[in-house]
Structure formats: structure tokens, C-alpha cells
A = this chain, B = another copy of it.
Amino acid sequence: MVKRTSFENDDCPIARSLDAIGDWWSLLIIREALFGSRRFGEFQKSLGLAKNILTVRLRALVDQGILKLAPASDGSAYQEYLLTPKGRGVFPILVALRQWSEEFDDHPAEIATILVDKEKGRPVRKLELYSQDGRLLTAADTALKPRRDSKSSRKLRSISA
């Protein structure tokens, strides 16, 4: 490295997401925030990470517009970290990660929690990907097309799944 490779100028949206939240702690911080953690100390205790790392991560997440700082809601003079819409938009990523573990982990018995639908308390279904006309798609049914495609470049990179 000498300097950790940054993907922020990569034209692949996956690389861009990873550049923003692809480190060891950011997604877990966002997970905790979705569960209601707001204060520095809450994140620190629930995740058990070093405070200096948490400081750096929280600042980065605020800089990226994933969290925002707000005056504390409990009357104290401190402040709290709240999710922005961009931060809440991470939810499907967390669900995808969770479901991958549930399906393929070697020791699923050690998984402690299940994501349920709040109204009925029943487990949710797997994430589904549909075409615009409503067909359920698998990886093999999709392809990548260059944006701003001139009709000429009709080369679709097929996803061989």
C-alpha cells in the first residue's frame, strides 16, 4: 500500500460503496445506529472498539453524510449521532450480509438473532430482485450495461452465475 488504495474515483458503484463503508467498523456502527444507539459511549460499549478508532469512524461517517450530529435529546449538554436518510439507506446492505451468513455460514447455530417483520413477528423472506416487468431475477438473469450507452456499444457484460 504505502497508501491504502482508495476506490472513490473508481467508476464501479460497488467499489465506491466499499470506499465509503467498506472498512471493518462502519457497517457495524450503522447497524447499532439503526438499533437506536446515538451516543459515543453507547457505540463504544456495544461494539467494544477502541475509542480512538470510534472517533475517527464517526467523524468519517458524519463527513460522508451518513450520520449527523445533533444536540442531545435528553437535555444534557452533549450531542448525539443520528442517521441521515443516506445512513438509513444502508439497511438493505445489512440485510444482504445477514442473509448470506444465515444461508452459508458454517456454524449457523451460533447466530443469535433473526430478522422478523414487526407486525407479525415472523422471519422475513429473502431479498428479492425484480425486473421492471416483475420477473424475479437471479444473478444469471442480469448483465451490466455501460451508462449513457450509445446504441453502438451493445456489448452487455454477462454475469456468469
Contacts and interface: CB of A to CB of B under 8 A. Distances in A.
* Main secondary structure on A side of the interface with B: mixed
Nearest to A6: B24
Contacts of A130: 124-125, 128
Interface string A1-22: 0001100010111111110001
A160 to B, nearest CB: 5
A102 interface: yes
A23 to B, nearest CB: 8
A34 B144 CA distance: 11
Interface residues of A, number: 86
Interface string A71-104: 0000000000001011011111111111111111
A142 B156 contact: no
Interface in A12-57: 12-18, 22-24, 27-28, 31, 34-36, 49
Given A11-B110, A14-B27, A141 B119 contact: yes
A17 B98 contact: yes
Contacts of A98: 13-14, 17
A35 B144 CA distance: 9
Interface of A: 4-5, 9, 11-18, 22-24, 27-28, 31, 34-36, 49, 65, 83, 85-86, 88-106, 110-133, 135, 137-147, 156-161
24 contacts: A5-B24, A5-B49, A12-B28, A12-B113, A13-B102, A13-B105, A14-B27, A16-B101, A18-B24, A22-B27, A85-B104, A89-B104, A91-B139, A93-B100, A114-B144, A116-B142, A117-B137, A117-B143, A118-B156, A118-B159, A119-B131, A120-B133, A122-B132, A124-B130
